[in-house]
Amino acid sequence: MTRIGFIGLGNMGGPMAANLARAGHAVQVFDLVPESLERAIKAGCIVAGDAREAVSGCDLAISMLPAGEHVRGLWLSEGGGQDLLGVLPAGALVIDCSTIDVASARAVGAAAKARGIRFLDAPVSGGVAGAAAGTLTFIVGGESSDFEAAKPVLACMGQNLFHAGALGAGQIAKMCNNMLLAIHMAGTAEALALGVKEGLDPGVLSTIMGKSSGNNWSLERYNPWPGVMENAPASRGYEGGFMTRLMVKDLGLAMALAEHAHSAVPMGALARNLFNLHAAKGQGAKDFSSILELYRDNTDPG
């Protein structure tokens, strides 16, 4: 059994911490949302009074937060940050599973190394369903020896563990993945909307494309048309998934990365504009598959 401090119990972090507790670890958790803490108690986690208490006495700590500013504010002292690195003993391992900018990941990693603390950037893929089922993909940047040390814990939350390279590589790979995800989700929604407007049944069309060259993860595992896939967010009013505003954030990170690399990303830029437009229409809290609604009007069947 390992004593693990876990900060951030949102749609992804909550199920991840619960899976660690189910695996027999002593998981000390903290989140700013009381309802998230209540769910953590039911899952067998130990609720701390604040973030410092959550990582106190731990040789391993995990964070799952919305953006780089939150990660820096948690682990560093700059700008009045909480400086949680100062609470951990030398040799402790910090795994940040947030999807953030590369510069923030590297800044926290450098500060950790200066204190003799190991740090991995380990963003995840697989969505809320994957977090709940313990089938996430972890995309990890950092020292290979630290990755090996983290694998037994990561395996309690995920099935696919990849060492992408040096510190920051996890974030780079995640940005590339999420840019592609946005592109094929937008394309899938566009194709389905076209077919339905011409009288096709969305379930039949999905089955045809799923067995043809147009098949992709969004179509097969996360269908954006309501009622086609029972467990997809689209069939729950686009609730409880990966929020549109977070996809907009990730696409912004990808665009910044592309600018830094002088890399042309015209399809990624178009996807960002589409999701940004969708969020601007008041849909930021809905699952990103709700991009389908951009292609529908009130006369559409289904």
Q: Which residues are catalytic?
A: 174
Report the 10 Å Cβ neighbour count for 289. Answer: 26
What is the Cα Rg of the chain in Å?
A: 20
Is 93 exposed, middle or buried, given 0-12, 13-18 or 19+ CB atoms closer than 10 A? buried
Tell me how crowded residue 99 is: count the other CB atoms within 10 A of its CB: 27
Taking the C-alpha atoms of residue 146 and residue 120, their distance in angstroms, rounded to an integer, is 7
Residues pairing with 27 in the sheet: 4
Across the chain, the runs of DSSP E, i.e. the strands, are: 3-7, 26-30, 46-47, 60-63, 93-96, 118-121, 124-125, 136-141, 158-165
| Token duo for residue 220 | 């097969």
